[in-house]
């Protein structure tokens, strides 16, 4: 079965294998609609609401990482800012409604990206070692993995859920499993959380950009890393890039 070089391949989950950002965008739009009902007459625009919530959410991610409560709380925090600005008393019922709205982001059915199952199956059958490395709340993320049906490709001790995805957390994964710096791949949609830390640690990195990326995921990849950096438009291109390996890296 195994006639290819065995590689360690680390996959991101959200917006690489399963859809995530689309659910946040949908709930954010619902939030803006609700806020316009409460504050629209005071002259607040959808753009202002969208931007303020985004800023609060990003600040919370920077500070506390990708916890489950962060996003729902960012809706309430943005609501409170507008209440203060327009001298409208905060209302516990409205805040509860916003929190509930925020948590619905975790309740949508899990939708796979095209070819997610096939390419994992293919790489798995080729004898490569697959890792899941995802940011967020462990209960939410592992439940999502199970519901996705992709859990069978990742041995339980090769599933990593961390509040921050940075160089230190990726190094921990690599150290624990003896992934050599020049013997592994990272596949993900986030330049900031997946690609840059992987390149800094000597891995090959395959970026799959999203059409509507989250503001948090942006990063500039220094030229020095470009020989190990690949970009593809779809998951199904990943196996060919890996089988071409490092040859093209020079």
78 and 101 Cβ atoms separated by less than 8 Å: no
Question: How many CB atoms sit inside 10 A of residue 163's CB?
Answer: 15
When the beta carbons of 19 and 80 are compared against Mg ion, the nearer one is: 19
Binding mask 163-192 for Mg ion (x = CB under 5 A): --------------------------xx--
Q: Are 81 and 52 in contact (CB under 8 A)?
A: yes
Of 23 and 32, CB closest to Mg ion: 23
* Nearer to Mg ion (CB atom), residue 126 or residue 190: 190
**Site residues for Mg ion, window 8-27 (CB under 5 A)?**
12, 14-15
Number of residues that bind Mg ion (CB under 5 A): 5
Q: How far is CA 187 from the centre of its chain?
A: 11
Residue for token digits 């796979």? 112
Nearer to Mg ion (CB atom), residue 162 or residue 189: 189
Which of 7-15, 56-64, 88-96, 170-178 is the region at the interface with Mg ion (rule: CB under 5 A)?
7-15
Task: Tell me whether residue 18 or residue 44 sits nearer to Mg ion (CB atom).
Answer: 18
Asked if 208 interacts with Mg ion (CB under 5 A), we say no
Q: In angstroms, give the least distance from the CB of 123 to Mg ion.
A: 18
* 184 close to 201: Cβ distance less than 8 angstroms: no
Q: How far is Cα 61 from Cα 197, in angstroms, rounded to an integer?
A: 17
72-131 residues in contact with Mg ion (CB under 5 A) are none
Pull the structure tokens for residue 132: 């899941």
**Residue 151 has which token pair?**
């859990």
- Residue 70 or 79 with smaller CB distance to Mg ion: 70
Sites for Mg ion among residues 60-79 (CB under 5 A): none
Question: Do 144 and 110 form a contact (C-beta atoms < 8 A)?
Answer: yes
Specify the residue for token string 């925020």. Answer: 102
Q: In whole angstroms, how close is the CB of 15 to Mg ion at the nearest point?
A: 4
| Integer Cα distance of 208 and 189 in angstroms | 5
Q: In the bound complex, what is the minimum distance in angstroms from residue 32's beta carbon to Mg ion?
A: 24
Minimum separation from the CB atom of position 16 to Mg ion (A) = 5
Whether 79 and 32 have beta carbons less than 8 Å apart is answered as: no
Interface residues toward Mg ion, by CB under 5 A: 12, 14-15, 189-190
């Amino acid at each position: 079965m195994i006639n290819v070089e065995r590689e360690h391949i680390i996959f991101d989950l959200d917006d690489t294998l399963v859809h995530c950002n689309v659910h946040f965008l949908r709930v954010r739009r619902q939030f803006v609609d609700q806020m316009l009902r409460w504050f629209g007459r005071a002259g607040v625009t959808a753009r202002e609401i969208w931007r303020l919530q985004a800023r609060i959410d990003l600040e919370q991610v920077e500070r506390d990482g990708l916890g489950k409560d962060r996003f729902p709380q960012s809706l309430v925090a943005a609501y409170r800012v507008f209440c203060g600005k327009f001298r409208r008393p905060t209302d516990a019922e409205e805040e509860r409604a916003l929190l509930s709205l925020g948590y619905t982001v975790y309740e949508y059915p899990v939708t796979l990206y095209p070819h997610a199952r096939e390419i994992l199956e293919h790489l798995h059958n080729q004898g490569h070692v697959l890792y899941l490395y995802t940011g967020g709340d462990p209960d939410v993320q592992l439940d999502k993995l199970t519901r996705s049906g992709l859990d069978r490709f990742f041995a339980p001790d090769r599933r990593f859920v961390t509040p921050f995805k940075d160089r230190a957390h990726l190094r921990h994964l690599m150290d624990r499993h003896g992934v050599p710096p020049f013997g592994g791949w990272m596949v993900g949609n986030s330049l900031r959380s997946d690609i840059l830390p992987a390149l800094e640690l000597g891995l090959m990195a395959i970026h799959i950009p999203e059409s509507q990326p989250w503001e948090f995921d942006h990063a500039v990849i220094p030229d020095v890393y470009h020989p190990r950096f690949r970009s593809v438009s779809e998951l199904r291109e990943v196996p060919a890039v890996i089988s071409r390996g490092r040859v093209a890296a020079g």
